[in-house]
Every structure is written in C-alpha cells, then in structure tokens.
Structure 1
C-alpha cells in the first residue's frame, strides 16, 4: 500500500501545484507501478525473474535522476549559467542515490521490524540494488547534462525538454538560452 501511495503521490502533487506532467512521464510511472506491484508482487516476478528487482531499481533511479535534475534546474529558474551543467548533473545524481539509499534503509527496517523479506538475499540484494541505483542515477544525471549542453537528443534529454516546455513558468529564464 505504501508503494502504491508513493507511486501515485507525484500525480497528486502535480495537480496541487499546477505542474503539467507530459505523457511519457505518466507512462513511465504507470509502467513502474505495474512492474512493481502487479508483476512483481502479485505475479511473483521478484522471485521468478532474477533481474526484475534490479530492473525496477535501475528504472526508478533514472527517474529520480531526471526528477532531481528538473527540480534542481527549476531552483535556478532555468538559468543554465547560474550553475555549471556538471554541478546540476552532480546534484541530480546525489539526489537519486540518496532516494535509492533511503529505500534500502526502508527495506531493512521493514524486514527487521515486521519480519518481511524485502531484501530477499540480504546484503547481496542490498548491494546489487545500490550499485544499480548508482548506475541509473548516472544515466539520469548525464541526460540532464546533455540537455544543458545542447545535446538534447541523447539518452533521456528529450523528456527533460518536454517537461521544461510544458512548465515554462517554473523555468522563467530558460527561454531561448537553451535553444542555441
């Protein structure tokens, strides 16, 4: 239930703060929810498909890297000159890794307090998840770096452009600076 609540939270927050969420972001969130709750838990993919947990951790890390980039970039009001692209990308990476680490702490706490088996094989599962979280965070952060560096067609940079275009009021200084 907590995972479902956390998965749906972005839609409610977007509505509350009048943020336009492009279709690819909603599709990714829907696929993640389906992959984790329906396929993973209900149909037992976590136990039957050895890489399922790693794939979900990787995809969520990419997502948090992108969301972190968009949030940090918004704090600079879309001014790519207020902070170097590498600094914004680094902060995005740090945010995504932090979220992944907090999730691993949550899994450990649930296993310890309620006797669940969220960590599956213990340390090996946790370390694998953290490594994949780091790799996904790098992909998300590098996508943001590409966006700021004018290489908007690489990795997930096109999705960043869609979000910025749909929410211009949050990125006031962006205007034509990024379209050089």
Structure 2
C-alpha cells in the first residue's frame, strides 16, 4: 500500500505544534533580516538588500526540501541550518564579522563540513532503508560517502571563491600576512632551489606607472592560499565528526537519541525485507 504524499505546505498551527522551536527561531531570524533590509534600503546599499532577499530565500530551503523529498528534518538540524545561513550572510557579510572576528569564517566552514556530511549521509541512508531501492550499504561505506560528499562541496566552494577573486577581485579568499616565505622564483640561477626570506616587515608594490606603495601590513601579503587551506582543513574536521556520528547511528540502527537530532528521516516508513526478498530472483534459463 502506497503512503499518501503531503499535499502542500503545512499550516502554521501544525508547524507550531510539531516544530515550535524551529518556528520561533525562523520568526526571530526573519524579522531581524527584514529590519536589516529596511536599514540597507534607507542607506541605499542595494548590494546588501540583495543579500537580505537571498537570505530570506535560503531560509525557506529546509521546508522546501522536506516537501520535495518527503523527508523530515530534525529540529536541531533545522535550527543549525537557519543559524548558519544568518551567521554567514547577515552577520558575516553585512555585519562584517568575517573581518571583525578572524575565526568567524573558520567556525562557519567547520559547521559547513558537518552539515554537508549530514546531507550526503542522509541521501544515501534514506535510499539504503527504502524497500524498493534494493541497496544495502555498510555503515562504514555510508560514512565514507558522507565524508567525501562534504569535502567535494567544500572544494567546489573554494573553486567559486577563487573564480570570484580572479574575475571580480572580491577577496573572498581572505589574504594573510606572513613574515617568512620560500620560493624557487627567487633563485638567482633560475634553478629549482627555494630561496627563503625571513623577518619580512613590509612589502613595496611598484605599479605600471612607476607608483610605489608600501603596504604597511607588517609582512608579506599571501594571496588567499592560507585561508583556502584552513577552510578545507576545518571542513575536513566537520565532515569527519559527522561521518563518525553517522557511522554510530547506522550501527545502532537509529537508536541513539543524540545522533537522531542530526539525521533527516523519510516520512514514508522503510519496509524491512526478509532475506528471500533481499535476494534478487534468478531468471529461468531460456532454452
């Protein structure tokens, strides 16, 4: 017997009863975004107005995914997603938290690795427990796929940041100031020997028209490399943490209360197959 799919968006009363914490968080964050957008309109900062509109659109993504994929996002996971979007777009970009708090970007990339691993894991886990899928993957395999999915998303995002920096000079891959460098380009013989420079206190930039500018940053300006590698490393940590959580979740057959807070589940209950049903029937040999 097929289970009926949800016919439309649930009512506010239903959301308040089943997802009270999520609804309160959503209302508070959305109200805050609207107030920020009004302030940006008053200041004629239309780029930030666009970010506010984008943020409100992203806020609706969890509920859209629930309806389209017929899944249920745990309240804890949904709240984390909403807070992540607000922290990245409103606080990070408009509030300039990325500049004010050096570790803001690091925390968000760690959380991004965790969330992307949760998405990758859930997609396979739901398929793995579906009676019609005929796929039965081990807990270790699910954890590895979740980890790889998260790292892939992290790499693609760094590709995007690099592209924006190269074509539009947006400095999405934030630069770093270092006091020591080593490069084979400094080898006077033109060989492959890296020449190291230490205790760098300033760098003078000479432009095409002969203008010389001392950067005054207290060292050499690294163009995005350290930021990119740090982002990928903390993404690695977040993905690894969730992969371990997901592995334990499957091993315990979904009994862990803590883990359930981060694992989306299908609204249609999975049908457990018997050993005979899980083994595909062999076709009769044709003579």
> The TM-score by the shorter chain falls in which range?
0.7 to 0.9
Normalised by the length of structure 2, the TM-score is: 0.53
After TM superposition, the structure 1 = structure 2 runs for residues 54-133 of structure 1, keeping only pairs within 5 Å, are: 54-77=106-129, 82-121=136-175, 122-133=224-235
The structure richer in helix per residue is 1
Residue 92 of structure 1 deviates from its aligned partner by 0.5
Deviations 1:140-176 (A, max 9, x none): 111100101118548x622245x32xx24264449xx
Q: Structure 1: where are the runs of 5+ without partners?
A: 175-180
Of the three residues 139, 153, 169, the one matched with 2:268 is 169
Q: 2:74–2:260: 8 Å Cα contact kept in structure 1?
A: no
The structure richer in strand per residue is 2
User: CA, structure 1 residues 36+128, in 2 after alignment: closer, same or farther (shift >3 Å)?
Assistant: same
Q: 1:93–1:138: 8 Å Cα contact kept in structure 2?
A: yes
Give the equivalent residue in structure 2 for 1:136.
238
Give the equivalent residue in structure 2 for 1:42.
94
Deviations 1:80-122 (A, max 9, x none): x922111110001000000011001010011111111100110
Normalised by the length of structure 1, the TM-score is: 0.82
* Structure-2 separation of matches of 1:67 and 1:107: 22
SS in 2 for 1:53: helix
Root-mean-square deviation (CA, aligned residues, Å) is: 2.5
* Structure-2 separation of matches of 1:19 and 1:153: 19
Q: 2:92–2:104: 8 Å Cα contact kept in structure 1?
A: yes
Is the radius of gyration larger for structure 1 or structure 2? 2
Is 2:118 the counterpart of 1:19? no
Deviations 1:2-51 (A, max 9, x none): 97355643432322333322322221111101111111111111011111
Q: 2:70–2:267: 8 Å Cα contact kept in structure 1?
A: no
* Structure-2 separation of matches of 1:11 and 1:138: 26
Q: Structure 2: where are the runs of 5+ without partners?
A: 1-50, 176-223, 274-287
SS in 1 for 2:243: helix
